Amino acid sequence: MRNLIQTEIQKLASLLQQIQQDNALLSVIETIADQCTQALKRGNKIFFAGNGGSAADSQHLAAELVSRLNYNRPGLAAIALTTDTSALTAIGNDYAFENIFSRQVESLGQAGDVLIGISTSGKSPNILRALEAARGRQMKTVGMSGMHAPLLAERCDWVVNIPSRETPKIQECHIMFGHIICALIEDAMFGAEYDPRRQARAEVA
């Protein structure tokens, strides 16, 4: 058991070290956070969608924005398209499972909103259709995937490619980057007002 524990920790540590040195990927994270911040400042919304573990990540990240991550501050407009079981089952039953997210995007999305589609394989049909629907509504599109995801990339303005083929490791990095993006959004929108340390520095300056 101990060997398995150590092996999994070492795999993640090596992957994180590789990511930490990938300036292009880190620049994409900065851009995504900035685009989400600008959207929220305009009064737009951030949508999340994913399947399985990625559905849980979608709900997790939406909750970080609606509730809070680091600051006690006003809520931010974020929606996980994975939570409304009546809508999901109705759309899946009346149309097809591939449409469970795209139909919601068509109903709720507006120009300037952001859709973050999470798919470790980069091939999930319902995520691809949701991204297509988002583009049709002049929304910004973000994909989070694994090492190679051309189908996802061609439907997205920005893609976060995790350099791994192991689903658990990809998901672990997705939630890390999701937290970082949420933290950057919070800091950009509320840091000076709600962080006592920043307030103290501002008063001294």
Pick out the residues of the known binding site: 51-53, 60, 64, 93-94, 119-121, 124, 171, 179
Pick out the residues of the known binding site for Zn(2+): 60, 64, 171, 179
pTM: 0.93
d(CA 27, CA 102): 28
pLDDT digits (tens, 9 = 90+) for 89-130: 999 999 999 999 999 999 999 999 999 999 999 999 999 999
* Per-residue pLDDT at 191: 87
HSE-up (13 A, CA, CB side) for residue 190: 17
Structure tokens at 46: 């951030």
* Per-residue pLDDT at 195: 67
Pick out the residues of the known binding site for substrate: 51-53, 64, 93-94, 119-121, 124, 171
CATH classification of 42-187, choosing from 1.10.20.10, 3.40.50.10490, 3.30.420.40, 1.10.150.120? 3.40.50.10490
* Per-residue pLDDT at 159: 98
Place of tokens 């949508």: 47
Q: Are 161 and 26 in contact (CB under 8 A)?
A: no
Lowest mean pLDDT among 81-85, 86-90, 195-199: 195-199
d(CA 140, CA 114): 5
pLDDT digits (tens, 9 = 90+) for 149-203: 999 999 999 999 999 999 999 999 999 999 999 999 999 999 878 765 554 444 4
Q: What is the DSSP letter of 144?
A: E
